[in-house]
Amino acid sequence: MFSEVLEKYDWDEITARIAAKTYRDVERALAKATPDLDDFMALVSPAAAPYLEQMAQLSRRYTQQRFGKTISMYIPMYITNSCTNSCVYCGFNRHNKFPRVILTPEQIEAECKAIRRLGPFENLLIVTGENPRAAGTDYLETALRVCRPYFNNLTIEVMPLSEEDYHRLTLSGLNGVVCFQETYHRERYKVYHPAGMKSNFEWRVNGYDRMGAAGVHKIGMGVLIGLEDWRTDVTMMALHLMYLRKKYWRTRYSVNFPRMRPSESGFQPNVVMTDRELAQLTFAFRIFDHDVDISMSTRETPLFRNNMVALGATSMSAGSKTEPGGYETYPQALEQFAVSDERTPAQVEADIRARGYEVVWKDWDKIFD
């Protein structure tokens, strides 16, 4: 399991190694066709800041080689804000006093129909809070079966499950799983997740192993920017990606680096990442892994997302609602976080095409199930 690998890496030591990188380390990393983890540390280090333009051009070249001039579109659908966790930064924290919603199968279908009216989406991300009793595997299986007639590609972002449950859901139409580790800092993780299932660091970080062993077609990874030192956190995620690629080589992978957005929790970020730093991180990941899907959500501004179209991003959401039933059933329910890009899917598509890129609404078909 990856938790055993992670124990061999000291957080403070990695932080110091990144800070000690020089321009020579950066230039050496940029000259390599296949950078290693040490090179990745150089590319996300402060020493790489003057090389942003060179990194952008490399990122553009590798992205076009692997993905062409395309951006794949997806849309999230929140089906419950019921949660038993106490994550201090999340609007769904169980201590926040607001009505909890668990959509019925009929309401889920109504949301599917509303999303279809927004645009020709085929990639749906189903999102829940973490409440295994009220919205566990049985509920997720029902949701997948309701959504399958409307969408060709179904991904879930839910509580970590057992290997058996992941495999069971693949038989009900599941194509992919997204799970945010939030932070790889084992000790600080406990501070941000004091209670609930999510407080178990090992269960969460080893969830990716269970996804891979269950034969999940695509695994999405991410850390939440704003908790701990972002350079160290993403280096641990790069290490995790290397491990997964070697062990579960049949699986596709995606990464996302969401910056913290305002939520009902009122939590203030401990770390603030600038746009230039997020661009640097995007370029570093593309140079490190030419094949990984890099996703940009509506947490980011329209201007930033437009700029990333040609520089490394390969998938984007549009028209997102982050409250359960937000498209049709409960349009005024509590959001998990506030979105930054409020453009319609048609407006996002037009801006992507204006940059000479094609919009891909469908890249998976039921025939491959």
- pLDDT tens digits for range 333-364: 555 556 789 999 999 999 999 999 999 998 76
Domain of 255, CATH number, reads: 3.20.20.70
User: Above 90 in pLDDT, residue 261?
Assistant: no
Cβ(235)–Cβ(44) below 8 Å: yes
Look up residue 67 and give its amino acid. Answer: F
Cβ(47)–Cβ(21) below 8 Å: yes
Average pLDDT over residues 249-258: 96
Closest among 368, 367, 349, 366 to 358, alpha carbons compared: 349
% pLDDT > 90, the chain: 83
Ordered alpha helix ranges (H), 20-147: 23-31, 37-44, 52-67, 105-118, 137-147
User: Above 60 in pLDDT, residue 153?
Assistant: yes
pLDDT at position 70, please? 97
Average pLDDT over residues 72-96: 90
Exposed (0-12), middle (13-18) or buried (19+): which is 209, by Cβ within 10 Å?
middle
Structure-block tokens of residue 185: 């800092």
Residues in the chain: 369
Average pLDDT over residues 137-166: 97
Structure-block tokens of residue 210: 């269970």
What is the 8-class DSSP label of residue 335? P
pLDDT at position 337, please? 53
The range of the structural domain enclosing residue 287 comes to 2-368
User: Above 90 in pLDDT, residue 198?
Assistant: yes
Average pLDDT over residues 44-55: 98
Task: Select the more confidently predicted residue: 70 or 322.
Answer: 70
pLDDT at position 367, please? 55
Closest among 36, 43, 102 to 242, alpha carbons compared: 36
Average pLDDT over residues 301-314: 96
Closest among 252, 262, 301, 258 to 282, alpha carbons compared: 258
- For the stretch 98-136, pLDDT in tens is 778 999 999 999 999 999 999 999 999 999 999 999 999
Q: How far apart are the first and last CA of the chain?
A: 28
Distance CA 244, CA 250 (A): 10
Axis-axis angle for helices 230-247, 11-19 (nearest 10):
110
User: Above 70 in pLDDT, residue 264?
Assistant: no
C-alpha radius of gyration, the chain, whole number: 20
- Among 83-87, 243-247, 293-297, the minimum mean pLDDT is found in 83-87
**SS3 state at 154:** strand
pLDDT at position 260, please? 85
48 pLDDT tier (thresholds 50, 70, 90): very high
Structure-block tokens of residue 117: 């009216």
Beta strand 218-223 pairing with 153-157: unpaired
Beta-carbon count within 10 A of 269 CB: 14
Cβ(125)–Cβ(232) below 8 Å: no
Q: How many domains does the chain have?
A: 1
Cβ(234)–Cβ(227) below 8 Å: no
Average pLDDT over residues 158-165: 97
pLDDT at position 303, please? 95
User: Above 90 in pLDDT, residue 268?
Assistant: no
Task: Provide the whole-model pTM.
Answer: 0.94
pLDDT at position 279, please? 98
pLDDT at position 87, please? 92
Look up residue 99 and give its amino acid. Answer: P
- For the stretch 11-43, pLDDT in tens is 999 999 999 999 999 999 999 999 999 999 999
